[in-house]
């Protein structure tokens, strides 16, 4: 497709959700633009290790998958959304296989070939479809290849959305989205891209924390874009901390898949003793929030740097076949996981809340959709169950495509949009302000709004956020935008939303744990936290 600035659909984000939607729309002659803030392989999907949950085992059932998801979500899942998502698990996997994704298989005793299924925390059965321990990479590369081949899809790498553009919507007496201002980070020019429909597929916001398993791009861009445009957000207090991130001074953001524990890996202290049985009868297979808090408790109680995850009791062949990526990565740091335990710590991993959407991925603004981690669909509730996230991406990409294709013929072309005006700003000569504020934000979010919280810590964090917001707003109004500045501007908004939601929840539930209210309040119907701009 030749370069244009006007499309039927603009998709902001190039991970599993965004590319799946682009492919489904393009099959119906829809002109689609896909923005990728960095390279197409830079998003969270590419780095996902575990897999995709779906019912394939004869001993498993849709009802069991639903029950496990509801249990992990601690009373805040939307049961209708859970059922909708789970029932489309098998068809989602089938669609990925049609796109060329090769999943790990095994031979049955009868000599037949079937999908190999892992088991992960919170799941009562083996139902994790995977490609060894690099499922996201396999999914991402296949979708990218298909998207590059399609004439109706235009891919824009190194393009960072600055803000959504809206216009009055007479039909709804409100407003509708008509495009976005986008920074080309290679030419440093801000472009105007108009579209009849805009979809946010930007992923999560876990880089708001000092330690994260996510790539550098996970800066909450879509949540901040939607909030500034006028959308509600929900459940931002529920930030999932993955229990096992590799602890090494030279290792950055490397996740040790939950599948290691699913295949028998044991969490141990430096003296070799296990501890998870003291926190939950499910031990290493307890939901992530329980395991992360247990590790955090042991680290703080004993004054140690990390705990260890030991899979070395399995055979070398088994480990190298099942976890080749983890094996090779750890070996780079002189850790042979076939003989040694892996040093691990918890790290921010997944944003369970986000932009509030309905069952078709629609937001509060006409023609604006949100899919994947950026959205709060009601699937995850207070805690995401392992490997439900890629499934959510696929299911809601399909739901959004159906709704967009149905509505698109009646959506008018966008009106004229004025070009980006930077006549009143100059180039910054104080980039240190951005880097300093970025570091300060991530440090106090980790210290005050992390795995364990208190009212006092939240109040301290809010005071710091308000000061940073003013400083960043002043900086933004005086200098030309850069990608670092855009990310910082978005992160400080996301940080404030997380804190505000956490301050409203006067109980401990799911991923939100506070020492001031350590018990779950079961005296009333559980509520989701919703914030309006």
CA angle 501, 226, 479 (to 5 degrees): 105
Residue 20 included in any domain:
no
Q: Kindly report the CATH number assigned to the domain that includes residue 484.
A: 1.20.58.100
Residues 6+ apart with CB under 8 A from 486: 160, 162, 183, 221
- Position 290 scores a pLDDT of 87
Residues 344 and 436 in one domain: no
In a domain, residue 394? The reply is no
245 and 338 assigned to the same domain? yes
For residue 266, what pLDDT is reported?
97
Same domain? 344 vs 442? no
Per residue in 169-200, pLDDT (tens digit) is 876 558 999 999 999 999 999 999 999 999 99
Assess if residue 293 is contained within a domain. Answer: yes
Q: How far apart are CA 273 and CA 211, in angstroms?
A: 26
Instruction: Considering only the C-alpha atoms of the chain, give the largest distance between any 2 of them, rounded to a whole number of Å.
Output: 73
Low-confidence ranges of the chain (pLDDT < 50): 1-2
Q: Which of 348, 382, 399 marks a domain boundary?
A: 348
**How many domains would you assign to the chain?**
2
Backbone phi, then psi, for 206, in 5-degree steps? -75, -10
pLDDT value for 2? 44
Of 348, 366, 394, which residue constitutes the final position of a domain? Answer: 348
**Does residue 70 lie within any of the structural domains?**
no
Select which of 288, 442, 453, 457 is catalytic.
288
Identify the three-state secondary structure at position 72: helix
**What's the CA gap between 391 and 4, in Å, rounded?**
32
pLDDT of 172 reads: 59
CATH number at residue 333: 3.90.700.10
In a domain, 511, yes or no: yes
Q: If you write DSSP's letter for every residue of 171-219 in order, what string do you get?
A: TTTEEEEEEEEEEETTTTEEEEEEEEEEEE-----GGGSSSBSS-TT-S
CA atoms within 13 A on the CB side of 299: 20
* Residue 478: inside a domain: yes
Mark whether 505 is an active-site residue.
no
Instruction: Examine residue 338 and state whether it is found in any structural domain, yes or no.
Output: yes
Question: Any long-range contacts for 36-39 (C-beta under 8 Å, 24+ apart)?
Answer: 36/155, 36/156, 36/157, 36/158, 36/159, 37/158, 37/159, 37/160, 37/161, 37/185, 37/202, 37/217, 37/221, 37/483, 38/157, 38/158, 38/216, 38/217, 39/157, 39/158
- pLDDT of 1: 46
352 CB-contact burial (10 Å; exposed 0-12 / middle 13-18 / buried 19+): buried
Question: Does residue 277 form part of some domain?
Answer: yes
Which of the listed residues 321, 348, 375 is the one where a domain comes to its end? 348
Model confidence pLDDT, tens digit, residues 470-500? 999 998 988 899 999 999 999 999 999 999 9
Residue 497 structural domain: 431-518
């Amino acid at each position: 497709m030749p370069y244009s600035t006007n499309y039927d659909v603009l998709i902001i984000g190039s991970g599993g959700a965004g590319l799946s939607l682009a492919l489904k729309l393009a099959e119906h002659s829809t002109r689609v633009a896909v923005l990728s803030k960095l390279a197409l392989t830079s998003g969270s999907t590419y780095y996902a290790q575990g897999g995709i949950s779906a019912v394939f085992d004869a001993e498993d059932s849709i009802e069991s998958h639903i029950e496990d998801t509801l249990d992990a979500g601690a009373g805040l899942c939307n049961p209708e959304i859970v059922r909708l998502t789970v029932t489309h698990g098998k068809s989602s996997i089938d669609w990925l296989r049609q796109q060329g994704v090769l999943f790990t298989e095994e031979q049955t005793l009868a000599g037949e070939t079937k999908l190999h299924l892992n088991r992960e925390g919170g799941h009562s059965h083996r139902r994790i479809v995977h490609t060894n321990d690099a499922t996201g990479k396999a999914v991402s590369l296949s979708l990218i290849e298909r998207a590059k081949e399609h004439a109706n899809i235009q891919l824009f790498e190194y393009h960072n959305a600055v803000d959504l553009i809206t216009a009055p919507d007479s039909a709804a007496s409100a407003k509708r989205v008509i495009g976005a201002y986008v920074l080309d980070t290679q030419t440093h020019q801000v472009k105007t891209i108009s579209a009849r429909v805009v979809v946010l597929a930007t992923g999560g916001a876990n880089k708001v924390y000092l330690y994260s398993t996510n790539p550098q791009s996970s800066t909450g861009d879509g949540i901040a874009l939607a909030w500034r445009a006028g959308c509600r957000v929900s459940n931002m207090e529920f930030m999932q901390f993955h229990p096992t991130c590799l602890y090494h001074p030279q290792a950055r953001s490397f996740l040790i898949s939950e599948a290691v524990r699913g295949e028998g890996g044991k969490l141990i202290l430096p003296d070799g003793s296990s501890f998870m049985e003291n926190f939950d009868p499910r031990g290493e297979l307890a939901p992530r929030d329980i395991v992360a808090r247990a590790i955090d408790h042991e680290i703080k109680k004993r004054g140690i740097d990390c705990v260890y995850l030991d899979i070395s009791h399995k055979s070398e062949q088994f480990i190298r076949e099942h976890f080749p990526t983890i094996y090779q990565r750890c070996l780079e740091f002189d850790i042979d996981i076939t003989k040694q335990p892996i040093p691990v710590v918890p790290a921010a991993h997944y944003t369970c809340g986000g932009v509030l959407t309905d069952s078709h991925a629609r937001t509060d603004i006409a023609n604006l959709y949100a899919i994947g981690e950026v959205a709060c669909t009601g699937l995850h509730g207070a805690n995401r169950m392992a490997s439900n996230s890629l499934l959510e991406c696929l299911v809601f990409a399909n739901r959004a495509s159906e709704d967009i294709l149905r509505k698109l013929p009646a959506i008018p072309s966008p009106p004229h949009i004025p070009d980006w005006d930077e006549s009143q700003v100059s180039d910054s000569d104080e980039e240190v302000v951005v880097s300093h504020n970025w570091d300060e934000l991530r440090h106090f979010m980790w210290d005050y709004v992390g795995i364990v919280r208190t009212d006092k810590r939240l109040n301290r964090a809010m005071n710091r956020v308000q000061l940073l917001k003013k400083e960043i707003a002043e900086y933004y109004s005086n200098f030309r935008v850069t990608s670092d500045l855009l990310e910082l501007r978005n992160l400080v908004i996301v940080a404030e939303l997380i804190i505000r939601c956490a301050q409203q929840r006067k109980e401990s539930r799911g991923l939100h744990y506070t020492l001031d209210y350590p018990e779950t309040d079961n005296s009333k119907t559980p509520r989701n936290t919703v914030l309006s701009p």
